[in-house]
Structure 1
Amino acid sequence: MDQARPARKVAIVVFNQIEALDFAGPYEVFLTSSGGGQDFQIFTVAPHEGPVVALGGLSLNPAYTIYNCPTPDLIIVPGGPGARTEKNNSTLTEWIASTAATAELVLSVCTGALIIAKADLLEGLNITTHHRAIEELKAAAPASSVIVENKRYVDNGKIILSAGVSAGIDMSLYVVGRLLGAERALRTASLMEYDYNPE
């Protein structure tokens, strides 16, 4: 008898001045679709110990730091104003690059794409970000193939990027569908009362 696949570990990177919905949207999607923890185990991970202060003063207590977190199967890198600082945090970008080597998927939301660009993960890919950060991403990832505009997310296989803020929810639902089937993604969206239209 085949044993069930272990729950995928989903690490959501959090940092100061992160956009709240960038991390909370994907967190909610993977939590709602987790089957009570059987399919996904979701946790936050920060580049340093102690609380993280999101945009607007929301204080978060990350479950782990990059030094002690479980090895993730999925890595989610959100954006927000703090992404422009964290893209220059070589300790974080090196952790993302090394962890991505063994991860099943790497996802970015909004300007989180700037961070994974600095981790050298976007060369030759179709990429996207928040519509107001397109030119910034072009400069950060000059070797990427195409900047995709007017789409909620772009799937490159291992690397999946979303446009801004709420688009991270669409991307996460898409990933749930890719991993667990379209029915699970639609059921998750229904439970969240989210108007999801798969691309």
Structure 2
Amino acid sequence: MTAIVFVLFPGVTQLDLTGPAQVLSRLPGARVTVAAATRDPVATDSGFAMLPTATFDSAPSADILCVPGGHGVADALSDEPSIAFIRAAAESARWVTSVCTGAFLLGRAGLLDGRRATTHWAYAHLLPLVGASHQPGRVVEDGNLLTAGGVTAGIDFALTLVAREAGQAVAESIQLSLEYDPHPPFDSGTPATAGMRRTHALRASVYDDAAARMESALRDRAGNPQ
């Protein structure tokens, strides 16, 4: 059995978790656990809640640790039970992984020091604050560390991980079973393809404030003052 443990916290971007979970649940011998501080429903960023299947105390030892992101990461950075769980789970995990801004929770747990990583494009400049160097890409591997870019990149990361665990043929079969063959109606999925005007407008309306809040949360710690 391969124990796959996802960390759940308020304000998570649900696709950061459910996208990889849909893929990884089909890994032969997989058992997926969603762990949170309590078994109470946890609000996501999509207007509905998710139900954990275990608490941090009752979750199994993780072979694969998965940390999603979301606007709730800024608050989760100061949640010591969550950070302690991530740090402890990573000690015995074969793979330590994140999607989107989940990378900063790995970083707060001390798991990105000197490592190459990626995250959502709007936050990539903050990775040095957790000891990481930013490597552009939808999926970045550094030893047993796999980090994914923003949101939908979690599906790519999960297929990459399946290939590492069970071979490319298994990963391709899972991709086929999910009919994962993206052909988006618009070519606007990255700053490069969206263009400067649209990217700057989105930064101004959403991500300037969100990134500033993340930076403040990252700096609000002993040894890294404001």
Shared fold by TM > 0.5? yes
**Pairwise CA distance, 1:95:** 1.4
Distance 1:77 1:95 in 2: 11
Tell me whether 1:80 sits opposite 2:80 in the alignment: no
Tell me whether 1:148 sits opposite 2:135 in the alignment: yes
Distance 1:112 1:121 in 2: 12
Alpha carbons 2:39, 2:51 under 8 Å: kept? no
Relative to the length of structure 1, the TM-score reads 0.88
Tell me whether 1:93 sits opposite 2:86 in the alignment: no
Residue 24 of structure 1: aligned partner = 18
Q: 1:186 aligns with which of 160, 172, 176?
A: 172
Residue 3 of structure 1: aligned partner = none
Distance 2:78 2:127 in 1: 14
Amino acid at match of 1:86: A
Residue 27 of structure 2: aligned partner = 34
Residue 190 of structure 2: aligned partner = none
Distance 1:135 1:49 in 2: 35
Identical positions, percent = 30
**Rg comparison, structure with higher value:** 2
Q: 1:15 aligns with which of 4, 9, 12?
A: 9
Amino acid at match of 1:87: L
> Which structure has the highest helix share of the two?
2
Residue 103 of structure 1: aligned partner = 93
**Pairwise CA distance, 1:34:** 2.9
Amino acid at match of 2:7: V
Q: What is the aligned-residue RMSD (CA, Å)?
A: 1.2
Amino acid at match of 2:6: I
Q: 2:148 aligns with which of 162, 166, 176?
A: 162
Count of paired positions? 182
Distance 2:71 2:106 in 1: 15
**Pairwise CA distance, 1:60:** 1.0
Distance 2:169 2:151 in 1: 24
Distance 1:157 1:176 in 2: 15
Alpha carbons 2:118, 2:124 under 8 Å: kept? yes
**Structure 1 spans left out of the alignment, 5+ residues:** 1-6
